C-alpha cells in the first residue's frame, strides 16, 4: 500500500498561498515541498508544472534561471482534510491529558518569545540535550547583537559559536537558511511576528525552509505565537504511541494524527507534560510502568512486563530543563 499524501496528513482543506523560495543549484531549480497536491504559480500568475515526489525537495529541470538566482513563487494546496476521529478516542485522550496535568503539576505559563529566537533555539535543540542547546543559544546571543547581524555572518563563525550543541555545521546552515529566507519575505528579522497567518499557513511557510521540519515550526507556533498545538519530537512520538493515543510510524505522522484529538486550549500544556512524563516515567529504556499514573488506560503491550520488573531507568540528561525555559529562563521555573 502506498503512503498517504503528506499534505493529507497535514489536514489542509483550503487554499494556502505563500512565498516559496526556489534556488538554482546547477542541475535544475530546487523547490522545498512535500505535497503531491501542490501547484506552483509564478509571480505572473502562470501555473508551472513541477514534478512532485515524496522527497523533501522537488526539481524542475525545464525551468531555466541564472545560477544562484532566487525565484519567489506561490504554492496552492487544496488537499482534503482527513475524517474526524471518533468521540471515544477523543474522550480517552482528554482523560489522559487531565491525568498527566494533575500528575506533573506544573502549569505552563505562556510568556511570548519572538518568532526568530524560538526558531533558532528550536533548531539548536535538535539531537542534543537541552542543557547543551541552552549553552549554544546563549553563546549565539552573546556573539551577535541582533538577528539581522547574525543573518550576515559566515556559516563557519556560527558553527564555531554553537559547537557545544552538536551538529554545528548542519545547524548553522539551517539557521542561515531560515534567517535569510524570512528576512527576504518579511524584512527586519527583529520585527517579524507572523501574527497575520493562521496555524497551517505558518507551518507551510516555515517547513518550506530547507532544514526546518514540522516539529520546529510547531514549536514556533506554541512558544512564540501562543497557538493551541502540540509539537511532536521523537520523545512525544514515543509516549503517545505507547499510550495508544495514535498509531503512527513517524513524529510528523503522529503530529497530524494527534492534532484533532486534543481538547481545546490543552495542547501546549500537554506537550510540556509529555516531555516531563517521558523523562520521569515513560523513559525510552526501562520505563517506570510500575509508577505510571495512566497505566490503567495505556495500551502498550509491554507495560505489564516492565511494571512487574520494577527496574528503574536512567535519569534524564537535561533534568527538568525545557525549551521554554531556555527562551524565558525565569518564566517557567
Taking the C-alpha atoms of residue 25 and residue 59, their distance in angstroms, rounded to an integer, is 10
Average pLDDT over residues 255-260: 92
Which one of 106, 171, 215, 283 is the catalytic residue?
215
- Check whether 47 has a pLDDT greater than 70: no
Q: Which residues contact 275 (CB under 8 A, 6 or more apart)?
A: 235, 236, 322
Q: Which residues pair with 261 in a beta bridge?
A: none
Residue 78 pLDDT greater than 90, yes or no: no
Please say if the pLDDT value at position 103 is more than 50.
yes
Instruction: Output the average pLDDT for the chain.
Output: 76
SS3 of residue 302 by DSSP:
coil
pLDDT at 5: 36
Cα–Cα distance for residue pair 113/150, rounded to 1 Å? 18
pLDDT (mean) for 191-208? 86
Specify the domain boundaries for CATH 1.10.1670.10 within the chain.
87-108+230-324
User: Are the C-beta atoms of residues 21 and 70 closer than 8 Å to each other?
Assistant: yes
Strands 29-32 and 57-60, by their bridges, are antiparallel
Task: Please write the tens of the pLDDT for every residue from 200-252.
Answer: 888 888 888 888 989 999 999 999 999 999 999 999 999 999 999 999 989 98
CB 171 within 8 A of CB 124: yes
Residues carrying CATH 1.10.340.30, the chain: 115-225
Q: Residue 316: what pLDDT?
A: 75
- What letters, b where the CB count within 10 A reaches 16 and e where it falls short, cover 131-152? ebbbbbbebbbeebeebbebbe
Assign a CATH topology to domain 115-225: Endonuclease III; domain 1 (1.10.340)
State whether residue 145 is helix, strand or coil.
coil
Please give the pLDDT value at position 321.
63
pLDDT band at 65 (very low <50, low <70, confident <90, very high): very low
pLDDT of residue 84: 75
What pLDDT is stored for residue 296 in this prediction? Answer: 95
pLDDT the model gives residue 278: 94
Residue 184: band (very low, low, confident or very high) from pLDDT cuts 50, 70, 90:
confident
CA distance 71 to 42: 9
Amino acid 72: pLDDT: 38
Question: Is there a catalytic annotation at residue 215?
Answer: yes
Per-residue pLDDT of 107-166, as tens digits, reads 888 887 899 999 999 999 888 887 888 899 999 999 998 999 999 999 999 999 999 988
**Over 90: is that where the pLDDT of 190 sits?**
no
Give the model's pLDDT for residue 326: 65
Q: Are 208 and 32 in contact (CB under 8 A)?
A: yes
C-alpha cell at 312: 528503574
Decide if pLDDT at 77 tops 90: no
Vertex 111 angle, CA 282 and 166, to 5°: 55
Residue 10 has pLDDT above 80, yes or no: no
Helical H segments across the chain, by residue range: 6-10, 87-104, 115-124, 130-143, 147-151, 155-161, 168-186, 199-207, 214-219, 234-243, 251-258, 267-280, 303-309, 323-327
The pLDDT, as a whole number, for residue 243 is 97
Quick check: helix, strand or coil at residue 1? coil
- Residue 258's pLDDT is 94
Residue 27, pLDDT above cutoff 70:
no
Can you tell me the distance from the alpha carbon of 147 to that of 191, in angstroms, rounded to the nearest whole number? 10
CA angle in degrees (0–180, nearest 5) for 206-141-161: 90
Indicate if the pLDDT at residue 93 is higher than 50. yes
3-state SS, residue 29: strand
8 Å CB contact between 29 and 21? no
**Rg of the chain in Å (alpha carbons):** 21
pLDDT of residue 34 exceeding 50, the answer is: no
Sign of the CA dihedral running 59, 115, 275, 265? negative
Helices (H) and strands (E) in the chain, counts: 14, 6
Report residue 96 as a C-alpha cell. 489522559
Architecture in CATH of 87-108+230-324 = Orthogonal Bundle (1.10)
- pLDDT value at residue 83: 64
Q: Which segment of 46-50, 120-124, 177-181, 273-277 scores lowest on mean pLDDT?
A: 46-50
User: What is the side-by-side order of every strand in the sheet holding 57-60?
Assistant: 47-48, 38-41, 70-77, 18-24, 29-32, 57-60
Q: How far is CA 234 from the centre of its chain?
A: 11
Interior CA angle at 231 toward 39 and 313, to 5°?
Answer: 140
Amino acid at each position: 500500500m502506498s503512503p498517504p499524501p503528506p499534505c493529507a496528513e497535514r489536514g489542509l482543506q483550503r487554499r494556502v498561498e505563500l512565498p516559496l523560495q526556489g534556488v538554482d543549484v546547477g542541475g535544475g531549480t530546487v523547490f522545498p515541498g512535500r505535497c503531491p497536491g501542490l501547484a506552483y504559480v509564478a509571480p505572473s500568475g502562470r501555473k508551472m508544472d513541477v514534478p512532485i515526489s515524496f522527497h523533501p525537495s522537488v526539481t524542475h529541470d525545464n525551468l531555466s534561471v541564472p545560477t544562484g538566482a532566487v525565484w519567489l513563487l506561490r504554492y496552492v494546496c487544496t488537499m482534503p482534510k482527513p475524517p474526524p476521529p471518533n468521540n471515544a478516542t477523543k474522550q480517552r485522550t482528554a482523560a489522559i491529558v487531565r491525568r498527566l496535568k494533575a500528575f506533573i503539576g506544573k502549569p505552563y505559563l505562556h510568556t511570548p518569545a519572538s518568532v526568530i529566537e524560538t526558531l533558532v533555539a528550536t533548531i539548536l535543540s535538535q539531537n542534543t540535550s537541552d542543557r547543551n542547546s541552552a549553552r549554544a543559544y546563549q553563546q549565539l546571543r552573546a556573539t551577535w547583537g541582533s538577528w539581522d547581524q547574525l543573518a550576515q555572518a559566515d556559516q563557519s563563525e556560527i558553527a564555531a559559536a554553537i559547537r557545544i550543541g552538536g551538529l554545528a555545521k548542519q545547524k548553522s546552515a539551517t539557521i542561515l537558511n531560515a534567517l535569510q529566507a524570512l528576512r527576504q519575505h518579511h524584512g527586519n528579522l527583529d520585527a517579524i511576528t507572523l501574527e497575520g497567518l493562521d496555524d497551517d499557513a505558518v507551518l507551510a511557510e516555515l517547513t518550506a525552509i530547507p532544514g526546518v521540519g514540522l516539529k520546529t515550526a510547531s514549536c514556533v507556533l506554541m512558544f512564540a505565537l501562543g497557538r493551541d498545538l502540540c509539537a511532536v519530537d521523537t520523545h512525544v512520538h514515543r509516549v503517545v504511541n505507547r499510550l495508544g493515543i495514535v498509531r503512527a510510524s513517524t513524529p510528523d505522522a503522529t503530529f497530524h494524527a494527534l492534532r484533532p484529538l486534543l481538547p481545546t486550549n490543552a495542547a501546549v500544556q500537554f506537550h510540556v507534560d509529555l516531555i516531563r512524563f517521558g523523562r520521569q516515567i515513560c523513559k525510552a529504556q526501562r520505563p517506570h510502568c510500575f509508577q505510571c499514573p495512566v497505566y490503567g488506560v495505556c495500551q502498550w503491550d509491554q507495560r505489564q512486563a516492565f511494571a512487574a520488573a520494577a527496574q528503574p531507568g536512567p535519569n534524564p540528561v537535561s533534568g527538568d530543563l525545557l525549551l521554554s525555559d531556555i527562551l524565558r529562563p525565569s518564566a517557567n521555573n
